[in-house]
Amino acid sequence: MSESCIRKTLATFPYGNIQECSCGGYYVTFGYVTLRLSYKELKSFTEALESVVNLVESDSQATSRGFRYKGNSFIES
């Protein structure tokens, strides 16, 4: 980030924020860690997080119905 860069906060959450920089980068801060990402990297990171959340939620629902996750599919427990 150069001295002329200006960051705009796009979102905040209890543990950090996401900012867009005038130089084209995106800063994702979570606690003491900040990632500087391009738009393509931000989108890929977001898709990966969404996949994990969906998997965890599916696993939670499936295990409550007597299924468990093995490999890349659910099987009866």
74 vs 18, higher pLDDT? 18
Tell me the pairing of strands 26-30 and 16-21. antiparallel
pLDDT tens digits for range 24-54: 999 999 999 999 999 999 999 999 999 888 8
Q: Give the CA angle between residues 54, 58, 61 to the nearest 5°.
A: 140
Give pTM, 2 decimals: 0.69
